Structure 1
Amino acid sequence: MNLHRNIDTSMLLMTVALTCIGVVMVYSSSAIMAAERFGDGFYFLKRQAVYTLVGFLVLCLATYFNYENWRKLAVISLLVSIGLLALLLVPGIGVKVGGAVRWIRLPGVTLQPAELVKMTLVLYLAHSLTRKKEKVRSLTKGYLPYMIVLGVLLILLLKQPDLGSSMIVAGVALVMLIVAGVRWLYILPTILMSLPVLYYLLMNSDYRRRRIMAFLDPWTDPYDSGFQIIQSLVAFGKGGITGEGLGVGQQKLFYLPEAHTDFIFSVIGEELGMIGVLVVAALFLLLVLCGIRIALQCQEPFGRNLAFGLSLLIGFGAFVNMAVCMGLLPTKGLTLPFISYGGTSLVTNLLAVGILLNISSHQRRPS
């Protein structure tokens, strides 16, 4: 089979487009802040460029690495990522930023274990669901073991705390289980029982409760809890249809917190306008649809499950970030895949695309 002829080139082109938009917007949104903080306006651009080169190298390697071999790494990779999450609980190892301990500092870089957990959980579920086949419909042999694994991950993520990643992990896992054939008789009670727990997590924590109140009415506290979303909405409003121009936006000038990471989509809205917003949203939608198409065309169960899970992972991450920036969801602290500044997120998402491209290369298409 000719790999070059069979890979999904449309997915590759959309990935390149989103990543290039990300590099440009990281520089636009961070140059002045980087010059003020580090004395180098290219500080974040240079690091993002390195992450991009590493990410595309990983993508190329994954494209030529037979996806079936990932099954051998499914369990061990999940255990390693769980171990990295647990290391964050050890004093002195985790890096605390904004009240959350989500990063491990390594020489020259920082590693965010939550991004690895998302990827390895999808890989593990794809492997395990394929191996168990019809047993997934069993409560004791199918459903409960997955809930134990998911429970361990959620506890470790919430200890950081990282409610946003927890919701992404839980959402992707439940959808994969549903598609694999797990009975609604098990899924629905789990969802209902989790609602009081979610309410407790949201309302028992002061900063989470304030975020919820700010989401419902940010103008009740415009200078504190509602500041982020107000500045984000101002950015979209100022952008209008065509935007104020690349690099011209003002909300990134210390008005919009985390302009180069969590709220980079707001900078896109201000500088590139509704046109830029729609282009980015359309690229994500088409990318996810390509991934789902790859899953539907795959005849091998593991490849089908893996492609579907990776597509969900990218789609959920993009949707939540964009919804937060537009005030449709409470602030979560999640990055926009391929576009936000951050090495772990960028490399893992490009790895996911590389795996999807390899799965597509094993599908025989008519000439």
Structure 2
Amino acid sequence: MNRVKKKSNKKAVDFMLLIAITMLVFIGIIMVFSASWPVGMSEENDGYYFLKRQIIWSAMGFLGLFIAMNFDYRKLKKWAPYIFFLSIILGLLVFTPMGAEIKGARRWLDIGPIRIMPSDAIKFGSVVFFAKFLANKRENIDTVFQGTLPALIYIGLACGVIIQEDLGTGGTIAITMMAMFFVGGMNILHMAPLGVGAAGVFYLAINDPDSSYRLARITAFIDPFADKLDTGWQLVQSLYSLGSGGVFGLGLGKSRQKFFYLSEAYNDFIFAIIGEELGLVGTVIVILLFLIVIWRGIIIALKTEDLFGCFLATGITALIAVQSLIHIAVVTSSMPTTGITLPFVSYGGTSLVMFMTLVGILLNISRNVNFERS
């Protein structure tokens, strides 16, 4: 009897958030299939190669979402330091013989037959661990020695490992954690030295002789058409792709730029293919779905009485918002190329599973929120 009563009192998850995420994942499956067909035929002799893998990863992502949705998220607070430490170790392993270099970038780990991106694990670990830190230090978060300095050390540790692999991903984590810190009540006056330090790190990163491609991306962003056959090629092709789509697009599967004009069309530039095939209408629908996800995430964070749950929901929502915004900004030539995927939509196993698991945690938190569900 007690079990039945306990089960009946269990609240439902935020249905609108769940539907929006599900729609984004299915849009991603369709667009990955369309954008990856030429590469699949050329490199794997199978146009369905990336589609099959994306479906498998999507199924694993829904499994992660379901488990996280039904798991007591409060237990993550106890495990947060171990999750963070493990993610940092995975990030450092990239610099060992286990690390794999693809197209000049060393961002992957080969673990048996599986290839993963440790940066995705660091995103997960950083959000969970920083949420615990902010919840524990709530009363002293605006002080120098108990709030600002420890927070900056944790942010620097998470970003420092990733910046060596990918400046864009490091920036994504930095902005996400700073957003959490701001919500937690940081002292803005303490951030002045941080701004100077961040500018210095950015300068050194783009002028690193071993990473000359970063400076090339900056110069290409300023005027991609000045060198459209070399450094500006990607951005120019992305703009051609978006522009040729018009209002209603060329039609699903009818993209021209995906035929080896636009590299990573199914990954880093998938939003451009959406614009080319589905037009302005398709891009607006995708943006609206992301806005729904962000809106529901903000509501959940605001309504959550548990401090750890509040900061965790804030971090998850900020991560989704920051990464999707950066991807769209890159594709529309509003910022330099960074190689950032579009959450839930772009091809990529570890990224998809990680984001869907995080959304599962967000849905879990929503079960403990008292608000009217749509």
**What TM-score, normalized to structure 1?**
0.96
Per-residue deviation, 1:131: 1.0
- Cα deviation per residue 1:212-269 (whole Å; 9 max; x = unaligned)? 1110101111111100000000000110000000001110000001011000110001
**What corresponds to 1:322 in structure 2?**
328
State the alpha-carbon separation in 2 of the partners of residues 365 and 316 from structure 1: 26
Write the letter of the residue equivalent to 2:110.
R
**What corresponds to 1:169 in structure 2?**
173
Per-residue deviation, 1:202: 2.0
Residue 106 of structure 1 pairs with residue 108 of structure 2: no
Q: Is the 8 A contact 1:6 1:365 kept in 2?
A: no
Tell me which of 214, 217, 233 is aligned to 1:227. Answer: 233
Gaps of 5+ in 2: 1-5
Per-residue deviation, 1:174: 1.1
**What corresponds to 2:195 in structure 1?**
191
**What corresponds to 1:202 in structure 2?**
206
Q: Is the 8 A contact 1:6 1:363 kept in 2?
A: no
Q: Once superposed, which parts of structure 1, at least 4 consecutive aligned residues long, lie more than 6 Å away?
A: none
**What corresponds to 2:55 in structure 1?**
49
Gaps of 5+ in 1: none
Q: Is the 8 A contact 1:111 1:344 kept in 2?
A: yes
Secondary structure at 2:74 match in 1: helix
Per-residue deviation, 1:78: 0.3
Secondary structure at 1:28 match in 2: helix
Map 1:255-334 onto structure 2 (within 5 A).
Answer: 255-334=261-340
State the alpha-carbon separation in 2 of the partners of residues 27 and 96 from structure 1: 25
State the alpha-carbon separation in 2 of the partners of residues 9 and 284 from structure 1: 15
Tell me which of 354, 359, 363 is aligned to 2:360. Answer: 354
Range that drifts further, 147-156 or 2-11: 2-11
Q: Is the 8 A contact 1:3 1:361 kept in 2?
A: no
State the alpha-carbon separation in 2 of the partners of residues 356 and 157 from structure 1: 25
Secondary structure at 1:96 match in 2: strand
- Cα deviation per residue 1:128-178 (whole Å; 9 max; x = unaligned)? 111122121221122212222222222211222x00111011111111111
State the alpha-carbon separation in 1 of the partners of residues 123 and 94 from structure 2: 16
Write the letter of the residue equivalent to 2:61.
G
The percent identity for this pair of structures is 38
Q: Is the 8 A contact 1:6 1:364 kept in 2?
A: no
Write the letter of the residue equivalent to 1:259.
A
Tell me which of 129, 140, 163 is aligned to 1:158. Answer: 163
Map 1:108-123 onto structure 2 (within 5 A).
Answer: 108-123=113-128
State the alpha-carbon separation in 2 of the partners of residues 297 and 141 from structure 1: 27
State the alpha-carbon separation in 2 of the partners of residues 134 and 235 from structure 1: 50
Residue 25 of structure 1 pairs with residue 31 of structure 2: yes
**What corresponds to 2:72 in structure 1?**
66
Secondary structure at 1:88 match in 2: helix
**What corresponds to 2:3 in structure 1?**
none
**What corresponds to 1:363 in structure 2?**
369
State the alpha-carbon separation in 2 of the partners of residues 327 and 342 from structure 1: 23
**What corresponds to 2:186 in structure 1?**
182
Write the letter of the residue equivalent to 1:107.
G
Per-residue deviation, 1:180: 0.6
Q: Is the 8 A contact 1:55 1:351 kept in 2?
A: yes
Per-residue deviation, 1:366: 5.9
Per-residue deviation, 1:206: 2.4
State the alpha-carbon separation in 2 of the partners of residues 365 and 165 from structure 1: 34
Q: Is the 8 A contact 2:87 2:121 kept in 1?
A: yes
Q: Is the 8 A contact 2:329 2:335 kept in 1?
A: yes
State the alpha-carbon separation in 1 of the partners of residues 355 and 249 from structure 2: 28
State the alpha-carbon separation in 2 of the partners of residues 332 and 4 from structure 1: 42
CA shift in 2, pair 1:366/1:281, >3 Å: closer
Tell me which of 3, 7, 16 is aligned to 2:13. Answer: 7
State the alpha-carbon separation in 1 of the partners of residues 341 and 130 from structure 2: 24
State the alpha-carbon separation in 1 of the partners of residues 240 and 266 from structure 2: 17
CA shift in 2, pair 1:366/1:17, >3 Å: closer
Per-residue deviation, 1:4: 6.6
Q: Is the 8 A contact 1:6 1:362 kept in 2?
A: no
After superposition, the CA RMSD in angstroms is: 1.4
